[in-house]
Amino acid sequence: MGENLAPACIATTVATTGIEQAEAGSSGATAASSAFDDGGETAATTRQTVSEEFFSLLWGERIKHDVFRRWLQGFAFSDFEPSALVQRDGGPCCVIAPVQAYLLKILLMESPEHGFNELTADKCKTLLIQAVCQILMKCKTGVYRIVTLEEETDTGSTSAPLPDRNVDESAEQAGGSGCALQQEHEGKEPAHPGVDMHDAALIDPSVIERTQSKWTSEAFHERIRFREHKHIDDVHKFYVQNFHVLTDECGVLLLLYTVLQTKGLEHILSEMSDPNESLIHDTYGCGSQALINLMLTGRAVPHYRNRKLKGINQQSDIGFITVMEQLQYCTVGFFYKNPKNPVWVMGSDTHLTVLFSHEKRLVSPETPGEVARRVFRQFDPDGSNFIPSAVLQDVLCALELVSEPEYVELMRSRLDPENLGIILLNAFMNEFFPDEKKSTPDTFDLLHYNGIPNSNYGGMVQYSKGQAVLLESDVRMCNPSDPMLTCLQTKWPNIEVNWSGNRTPSLN
């Protein structure tokens, strides 16, 4: 009940793009001219549909009605923060949060801090389209393949809701409202893997009655059309002239499909480690880490680490940090923690939010001393600020310092005079980098975005502001009751933040 196998309109053969030409007579003509005004390059809107392979990659074998319903929302801005997107339900944060991150990246480059509240609706519209285009540019492997829905005709014949023959319209009673990360576990599982307990409490289909949408998965897939453009300028022009494609009820889904079609099925499968794992959890509706990475970097790799093939292989425009690292479920690599712009998507075990700052020095190149601290900590996985003296030679080699055995033994005796078998971080830094300089300031502003209204004070989606301080001590103060601080410490181990109104923003 409440779920369907691949809808009847799904094609039964696959192409490397993941789309198929519809059979003549199945839904009308096999091709239709554009229903949109491009004002430039002419792009045919072809009557095609997604293949079974593409459908399975995204949704698994079936779509639960409740999962599909939670993805039915367009991009909309908050009434209380002009540039902040609102997320209605749990699930689509793996699309909404990356779009918000790119939007903020563009905004930080253009506007001073005091200009955030002065943004007009037209400016925010422009920022959203620019963010979408930047994401698509990273995903392009051939042409930009824009996914739209067939427009109504004068008679309304193509727009009438099509019956979903296999979907039970009643919402699933047992499912949570998932927005969790697909974590890179190391032999450990969270207590409730994949379940968005926070959203489940807020949005329980057995308690809240939602206005029934005309859209079912069957109707959505019947109406899908594809437009191809070679140049990003034409994509930008299309969204400017057809902004409703992003803001209508299926806007988030249409962008997701556009990203995946622009990337191409073959390329996505080649980057994933397990092609049998769906990009959206078939029970909870949350996005996998491969989907999050695709939205942020253009590569559908499954890991956070710096890996040549299956991880983040270069410095990204947008960063990523997660509370799950502090809980030792995963390790986030240097490229993700140190992006080109002071914007990070933040992952809890249930949701994705965005952290950003006006302080551009947060992404300054590392000083030699900061490189040394980072390398030292790679040999100190517990964050104890010391390493076994036996690995000193490995640390020196990694830093390209003198590592001849005789020299290493001399340094070991100096750094561990009591022969305790450990070398402290401070002793190491004082010996090799006595005049250490910092690229990061001691104090800086932080702002946090959470798109779910009920996760914001007073139900108003607004940026939370805080003043961060980097303490002199290297001792990490763990506070399991403060997930925000726990997550921030994976990037800045000695950070403290005073949030406005003494209200720590929620990661869930």
Q: What are the sequence ranges of the domains in the chain?
A: 48-151+215-307, 368-433
500 backbone dihedrals φ, ψ, rounded to 5°? -60, 135
More reliable by pLDDT, 350 or 249: 249
User: Residue type for 184, please?
Assistant: E
pTM of the model: 0.78
CB 338 within 8 A of CB 367: no
Q: For position 208, what pLDDT does the model report?
A: 34
Architecture of domain 368-433 in CATH? Orthogonal Bundle (1.10)
Average pLDDT over residues 353-361: 95
Per-residue tokens: 407: 């020299």
**Which residue among 93, 124, 286, 487 is the active-site one?**
93
Average pLDDT over residues 63-91: 94
Q: Which helix (H) or strand (E) holds 229?
A: strand 224-229
CB 498 within 8 A of CB 488: no
Q: For position 16, what pLDDT does the model report?
A: 58
The HSE-up count of residue 110 (CA atoms within 13 Å, CB side) is 14
**pLDDT, tens digit (0-9, with 9 covering 90-100), for 284-298:** 888 999 999 999 999
**pLDDT, tens digit (0-9, with 9 covering 90-100), for 122-153:** 999 999 999 999 999 999 999 999 999 987 65
**Which residue among 198, 229, 267, 351 is the active-site one?**
351
Q: Which residues contact 338 (CB under 8 A, 6 or more apart)?
A: 315, 319, 363, 366
Average pLDDT over residues 91-115: 90
- In this structure, of 11-25, 253-267, 340-354, 366-380, the range with the lowest mean pLDDT score is 11-25
Q: For position 220, what pLDDT does the model report?
A: 94
Q: For position 282, what pLDDT does the model report?
A: 82
Average pLDDT over residues 59-79: 93
Q: Which residues contact 65 (CB under 8 A, 6 or more apart)?
A: 2, 3, 4, 167, 168, 169, 170, 171, 172, 216, 217
Q: For position 481, what pLDDT does the model report?
A: 85
Q: How many residues does the chain have?
A: 508
**pLDDT, tens digit (0-9, with 9 covering 90-100), for 186-225:** 344 343 333 333 343 333 333 334 456 789 999 999 999 9
Per-residue tokens: 208: 């809240």
Residue 116 DSSP symbol = G
Per-residue tokens: 454: 């009920």
- Tokens 């739209």 belong to 148
Q: For position 193, what pLDDT does the model report?
A: 33
pLDDT at 231 over 90: yes
What's the Rg (C-alpha) of the chain? 25
> Whole-angstrom Cα distance, residue 72 to residue 374?
43
CB 505 within 8 A of CB 450: yes
pLDDT at 39 over 60: no
3-state secondary structure of 219: helix
| Residue 198: active-site member | no
pLDDT at 183 over 70: no
| Residue 487: active-site member | no
**pLDDT, tens digit (0-9, with 9 covering 90-100), for 369-421:** 888 988 998 898 777 889 999 999 999 999 999 999 999 999 999 999 999 99
Q: For position 113, what pLDDT does the model report?
A: 65
Q: For position 325, what pLDDT does the model report?
A: 86
CB 199 within 8 A of CB 179: yes
CB atoms within 10 A of CB 474: 16
CB 252 within 8 A of CB 128: no
Q: Which residues contact 274 (CB under 8 A, 6 or more apart)?
A: 302
**pLDDT, tens digit (0-9, with 9 covering 90-100), for 433-454:** 998 777 789 999 999 999 999 9
- Report the percent of the chain where pLDDT is more than 90: 55
Q: For position 11, what pLDDT does the model report?
A: 62
